[in-house]
Amino acid sequence: MHDRDDSTLAAQIAHALGDRIVDGELPPGARLRQDYVAAEFGASHVPVREAFRRLVARGLAAAEPRRGVRVAPLDAASIREVTEMRAALEALALRHAVPLLDKAALAEAEAALKAGEASTEIAVWEAANRRFHSVLLAASGMARLLATLDDLHAASARFLFAAWRDLEWQPRSAREHRAILKAARAGDAVTAAALLERHILAAGEALIRSLGAAERRAV
């Protein structure tokens, strides 16, 4: 029973800290201190260490020998790594998903697309964008792949929240989403996957440019 409690608490701590990292409340390089986190959550160090391990596995934190755990950096190399992983894995998932998409999934993807188009706040748009991608990919039924993509989407959201002010994030993304959805509706898995891969790679390059602009303003 105790192990299950620790595991549940570790998941809760990891989720809470992960949200703070994604939305920028915990900035890149910030040290994650076991004592402070344990006191905040009323936990022992065991679930806190496990929570830190989960954050490292998700790419949101980095463990440094003799220096503890810190929030992962925001840099071009990190964005490119996450982007290329997402592009390859989402294309794989979509190729498997398209033949299995039903009317309900396609309607939900359309609804998510419209919600993103109608949004004026980046957090609302990001949630709609994530829902659009996840709805289309869920039909693949590839549980391990989808879990990995959930982590990659969290990392992508963090990059987006850090750099969105310099992005033309809405119109281009909507056009590309509509093209992906059109191919998926037609049952053309090859075209849909190719469009999705290009869409993710282009978004990653735009994020890298925007991050550079934000860093130049901060100097």
**Are residues 27 and 10 both part of a single domain?**
yes
Q: Are 106 and 184 in contact (CB under 8 A)?
A: yes
Which strand ranges, in their side-by-side order, compose the sheet holding 31-32? 31-32, 68-71, 61-64
Mean of per-residue pLDDT scores for the chain? 89
pLDDT for res 12: 94
Mean pLDDT throughout 119-140?
A: 92
Query: Of 15, 50, 71, which residue constitutes the final position of a domain?
Result: 71
CATH code where residue 158 lies: 1.20.120.530
Tens digits of residue pLDDT in 4-43? 456 789 999 999 999 999 888 998 889 999 999 999 999 9
pLDDT bin (cut points 50, 70, 90) of residue 2 is very low
pLDDT for res 169: 59
Tell me which residue of 177, 137, 140 sits closest to 153, measured CA to CA.
Answer: 137
pLDDT at 133 over 60: yes
Range of the domain at 194: 76-218
**Are residues 161 and 214 both part of a single domain?**
yes
Query: Of 39, 71, 103, which residue constitutes the final position of a domain?
Result: 71
3-state secondary structure 136-186: HHHCCCCHHHHHHHHHHHHHHHHHHHHHHHHCCCCHHHHHHHHHHHHHHHC
CATH code where residue 15 lies: 1.10.10.10
Tens digits of residue pLDDT in 82-106? 999 999 999 999 999 999 999 999 9
**Are residues 43 and 89 both part of a single domain?**
no
Q: For the chain, what is the total number of helices (H) and then of strands (E)? A: 9, 3
pLDDT for res 183: 98
Q: Are 52 and 69 in contact (CB under 8 A)?
A: yes
Q: Which two tokens stand for residue 129?
A: 């964008």
pLDDT for res 84: 97
Query: Of 43, 71, 99, which residue constitutes the final position of a domain?
Result: 71
Tens digits of residue pLDDT in 157-211? 888 887 766 666 567 788 999 999 999 999 999 999 999 999 999 999 988 888 7
Mean pLDDT throughout 117-129?
A: 88
Looking at the DSSP bridge assignments, the partners of residue 32 are: 69
